[in-house]
């Protein structure tokens, strides 16, 4: 507990929220004006506006513009799942490693989007470009944990809208019309991800006992099994079939049988075959091994050897077979 980790989930959610509103524009006198968007508190921008009497200068802050801010974080018990449950995923940076992590914790992130305008028509144009997408939520896909490529749909819920127009000055004072939209992002916080490769069972051993005396029984037979790949993972083609074969064909010719070995398994376009014997370039096989589907194949279809290298590359969730050994005592 309390080991250092940083998944950048809050930062990623903040950036993703901001990208929703960074392409809004308004029309003024026939020209399109893209609305600037910045991160910061509302009062900071209002203070800058009050300190800049001429808002149309190139170096001054101009209107209309928008800003957004992350304002709070609360736990959401309604989305809670079992805290001790873990999930495993294949490490995207490794062909053999598997990562594991505890189920994420649900949190609600509060955001405020502020719209500053001089003209009410500008504010209405901006509002109408936003509201139709929130009914009252918009699902935003965010890659929350880069290490395991974990993506989640984060609902962005529009809670309420307030309008503030406190113009009380004379004709020389600039008016600032402020629309504030409050949102809730229902995100998840993940803990550290660790390797789960050692948790995967690679070998199973069963001891068979004989006799009625269970207290003093001797171990007679031990049966050990290890996972075996039922398809090729490396992509290396050993040879090709020389003619079309049907679902009933069990003996056929290949272009070069010297690359094959009897009593081994091969992958023929997703169908696993067991080579019983080889004579010249003609092989005799058992079709549809380990539950794979027997199908017809056309001339030139590739045959790939299933080797120990493929056994090491079996991915979590893939079907696999077993190689077993029996030892007597």
pLDDT higher than 90, residue 14: yes
**Confidence at residue 118, expressed as pLDDT on a 0 to 100 scale:** 85
pLDDT in tens, 101-117: 778 899 999 999 999 88
User: What is the mean pLDDT of the segment spanning 153-160?
Assistant: 94
Classify residue 314 by its DSSP letter: P
CATH class belonging to 9-195: alpha beta
pLDDT higher than 70, residue 215: no
Residue 34's DSSP bridge partners are 25
pLDDT higher than 50, residue 134: yes
Question: How does 58-76 read in b/e, with b if 16+ C-beta sit within 10 Å?
Answer: eeebbbbbbbbbbeeeeee
Cα 17 from Cα 69, distance rounded (Å): 10
Cα 131 from Cα 137, distance rounded (Å): 10
Cα 272 from Cα 287, distance rounded (Å): 7
List the single range of 136-140, 189-193, 216-220, 308-312 with lowest mean pLDDT: 216-220
Percentage of residues in the chain having pLDDT higher than 70: 75
Cα 190 from Cα 36, distance rounded (Å): 33
Residues 6+ apart with CB under 8 A from 215: none
pLDDT in tens, 43-90: 776 666 666 555 455 444 678 889 999 999 999 999 888 777 776 666
User: What is the mean pLDDT of the segment spanning 278-293?
Assistant: 92
Instruction: Please report where in the chains the tokens 């079309």 appear, as a residue.
Output: 244
- Taking alpha carbons only, the member of 49, 45, 91, 111 closest to residue 200 is 91
Cα 226 from Cα 324, distance rounded (Å): 7
Whether the model clears a pTM of 0.75, i.e. scores above it, the answer is no
Domain boundaries, the chain: 9-195, 202-328
CB 271 within 8 A of CB 306: no
């Amino acid at each position: 507990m309390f080991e250092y980790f940083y998944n950048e989930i809050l930062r990623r959610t903040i950036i993703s929220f901001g990208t929703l509103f960074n392409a809004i524009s308004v029309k003024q006198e026939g020209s399109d004006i893209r609305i600037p968007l910045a991160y910061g508190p509302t009062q900071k921008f209002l203070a800058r506006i009050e300190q800049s009497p001429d808002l149309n200068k190139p170096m001054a802050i101009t209107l209309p513009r928008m800003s957004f801010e992350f304002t709070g974080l609360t736990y959401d018990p309604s989305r809670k799942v079992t805290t001790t449950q873990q999930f495993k995923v294949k490490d995207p940076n490794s062909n053999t490693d598997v990562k594991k992590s505890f189920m994420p914790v649900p949190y609600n992130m509060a955001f405020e989007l502020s719209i500053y305008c001089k003209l009410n028509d500008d504010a209405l144009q901006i509002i109408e470009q936003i509201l139709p997408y929130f009914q009252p939520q918009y699902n935003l896909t965010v890659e929350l944990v880069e290490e395991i490529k974990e993506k989640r749909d984060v609902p962005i819920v529009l809670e309420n809208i307030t309008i503030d127009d406190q113009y009380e000055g004379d004709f020389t004072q600039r008016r600032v019309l402020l629309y504030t939209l409050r949102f809730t992002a229902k995100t998840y916080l993940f803990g550290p991800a660790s390797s789960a490769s050692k948790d995967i069972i690679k070998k199973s051993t069963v001891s068979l006992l004989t006799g009625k005396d269970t207290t003093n029984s001797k171990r007679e037979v031990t049966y050990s099994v290890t996972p075996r790949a039922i398809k090729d993972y490396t992509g290396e083609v050993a040879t090709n079939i020389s003619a079309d074969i049907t679902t009933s064909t069990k003996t056929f010719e290949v272009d070069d049988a010297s690359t094959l070995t009897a009593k081994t398994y091969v992958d023929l376009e997703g169908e696993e075959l067991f080579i019983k014997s080889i004579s010249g370039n003609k092989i005799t096989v058992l079709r549809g091994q380990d539950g794979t589907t027997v199908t017809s194949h056309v001339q030139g279809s590739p045959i790939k050897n299933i080797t120990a290298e493929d056994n090491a590359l079996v991915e979590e969730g893939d079907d696999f077979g077993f190689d077993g050994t029996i030892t007597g005592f």
